[in-house]
Structure 1
């Protein structure tokens, strides 16, 4: 009788449990990733620039402020930002500008895109020279830590929801889009809590009820889904940093990673609710999420599909079907490498972290964050000692829109 070899996640967890290292690695990873988030001051500055941009666009187009709505999409809205590697800007933020004016909504998509680009001109000392991309305009914001990819959009006429948009596409004229409902879907899954997390919450509640001091201890990777996505994106960026342009163009895009991770997290949570699986730590869930990713790439009649959960007609993997299998191959290569690199990293003792293996998973940004927190005696002592000084930034609800938009 033959037995199946242990899966990647089980093999990695067995190594951690054998050394009693799971909690230590959870703290190391959780605090490292927190150091790489968008700082509050940078976020506030970006929000101010983004609101000024909305007013400028409305003025240039000759429309009322109420006829324009600006909001964040992508990692800014799902709150899974990571820093970019130099010489790129530290944070590349995705912005949508919804144009509500009737005459603009009726325009040819290519004319609308051109006119919108012209409305971005005239303020180059602040925004930089607008650069045309496939669906958006790039604004560099010289001297700032961030840049904007600004996508003009209009309401989809046949849609029953105001969140369903259409954006210009060079190949198909109009392309469907629904970043709002997609982010809401992801944020709902990010709020799922496994039983071991609910136990921690109950203990904290009991401590409060009995007027006992709460333990001064950070939970670590408590926002598991977002931390897992950040980890995946850092690894992808590091793996493709030195690749040539053609290969880099085929790397797994962030929205696919976010979608697959959201589905995987929900599946694991459901399985635990049904008593089919049991998780004891955040790192165990994160490893299982990584392992599950390929199971949510669908292929029907030779067509790859990773659909927007908020809009089934939007296929994030659409380009996979017109590149002779290049993107599908790169996803498989990246996923295999991620598992191998995590396996190698976690088979080390946390007190003897190899910089090379740390870089393989988290990239240079992760190594720099680790070094910045490394004390003279023990890496973990330093990380744990500074954990309580960090204010938790884990969101409890999806970011909502304001009248002119709220940076998400």
Structure 2
């Protein structure tokens, strides 16, 4: 149990290292807000009332730093409330491009993509601005965006998707020791403090998504990266799996939640077996959006997904049997890369060492390794050692 607590705590710290820094986040936020103000101030009636908001990983808080030193991407929706569904998307897209070109700064950064405009802030990030309008056929407040390479609209619902993801993320896993502790005053969950200097903990679902996305990036860094599963597929399958798991099962630790959710994510793919649409991963918040549409056109994509998934599960399972933080570090490095793992390990060992030397390190029944006073809060004291070579 202690080993699993340690591993999950380390994975949480790795995710913290993969998060965009506060500076990066603020720079991106200021940039897209400025773009939104510039577009909304246009005299073109097509752009009146236009609003920009983030979508994808930035909106879901599941972004991870790229492996290389290249800039991170920020996906944005530019919603035009007055644009008619009867008009082609190309006209709206060109109106947005023309307005951006009117700004000397944006004109230098601008790059046209099949269905969006990209602003390249070299070495930092790029903003992908996709036009959208209201979808009159979606009762969930969905939107329409340009179909790639076509003069047609495609259904989507980034806001509805975000709300569904957050609702699932708000579900709390039931841990066996937590259930047993309900009638025990000494094991109250609200009396357990986290490790020192720990950042605000994201939802378990957010962290599981980040862990899988990073594992994917490392796995495909040595393979054909064009076959890597896209983030929305990983996120969708994990969020469905997470909801099913936490509703049905009581776990021994958060590590067991992580492993079960990743293992069962493949169960949420719909394979109908028809020649035209053999693979279906729907956007549950709107009709007509299939995240796996490319799988049907390229059979190598689902094959690559299942090969990666098998490896991801095996790598997570193997962590349960690894003893000693030195060996855990080696295993984590193979799966998640050396830089974030080393930083996470250094921070972890430093904090735990401080707490241990001060005599305030314990294993709490619901929060894993903590730095609270064990006797006062129901934790079990941990003896001093060097960690390396033992559990």
TM-score bracket, normalised by the shorter chain, equals: 0.7 to 0.9
Residues 373, 170 of structure 1: alpha-carbon distance in 2 compared, 3 angstrom cutoff: same
How far apart are the structure 2 equivalents of 1:163 and 1:190?
21
Residues 152, 63 of structure 1: alpha-carbon distance in 2 compared, 3 angstrom cutoff: same
How far apart are the structure 1 equivalents of 2:89 and 2:254?
45
CA-atom RMSD in angstroms = 3.5
How far apart are the structure 2 equivalents of 1:361 and 1:233?
11
Residues 159, 194 of structure 1: alpha-carbon distance in 2 compared, 3 angstrom cutoff: closer
Tell me, yes or no, if the aligned pair for 2:238 and 2:261 is still in contact at 8 Å.
yes
Q: Which residue of 1 aligns with 2:374?
A: none
How far apart are the structure 2 equivalents of 1:365 and 1:124?
38
Tell me, yes or no, if the aligned pair for 1:109 and 1:167 is still in contact at 8 Å.
yes
Residues 32, 48 of structure 1: alpha-carbon distance in 2 compared, 3 angstrom cutoff: same
Tell me how far 1:181 sits from its aligned partner.
0.7
The equivalent position to 1:301 in structure 2, one of 255, 264, 273, is: 273
Aligned length: 354
User: What do the CA deviations read for 1:259-289 (whole angstroms, capped 9, x no partner)?
Assistant: 10011111112212xxxxx302111000001
Residues 65, 365 of structure 1: alpha-carbon distance in 2 compared, 3 angstrom cutoff: farther
Tell me how far 1:356 sits from its aligned partner.
4.5
If the length of structure 2 is used for normalisation, what is the TM-score? 0.79
Matched, 1:114 2:94: yes
Higher RCO, 1 vs 2 (CA within 8 Å, ≥6 residues apart): 1
Tell me how far 1:128 sits from its aligned partner.
5.0
How far apart are the structure 2 equivalents of 1:163 and 1:138?
23
Tell me, yes or no, if the aligned pair for 2:132 and 2:143 is still in contact at 8 Å.
no
Q: Which residue of 2 aligns with 1:261?
A: 238
The equivalent position to 1:344 in structure 2, one of 311, 318, 323, is: 318
Where do 1:25-174 residues align within 5 Å?
25-60=7-42, 62-63=44-45, 67-89=49-71, 91-102=72-83, 106-123=86-103, 125=105, 129-142=109-122, 145-171=124-150, 173-174=152-153
How far apart are the structure 2 equivalents of 1:118 and 1:43?
27
If the length of structure 1 is used for normalisation, what is the TM-score? 0.76
Where do 1:257-336 residues align within 5 Å?
257-272=234-249, 278-302=250-274, 303-323=278-298, 325-336=299-310
How far apart are the structure 2 equivalents of 1:37 and 1:197?
30
Where do 1:168-187 residues align within 5 Å?
168-171=147-150, 173-187=152-166
How far apart are the structure 2 equivalents of 1:268 and 1:102?
42
Residues 358, 128 of structure 1: alpha-carbon distance in 2 compared, 3 angstrom cutoff: farther
Residues 387, 170 of structure 1: alpha-carbon distance in 2 compared, 3 angstrom cutoff: farther
Residues 171, 256 of structure 1: alpha-carbon distance in 2 compared, 3 angstrom cutoff: same
Tell me, yes or no, if the aligned pair for 1:29 and 1:221 is still in contact at 8 Å.
no
Tell me how far 1:28 sits from its aligned partner.
1.1
Residues 171, 242 of structure 1: alpha-carbon distance in 2 compared, 3 angstrom cutoff: farther
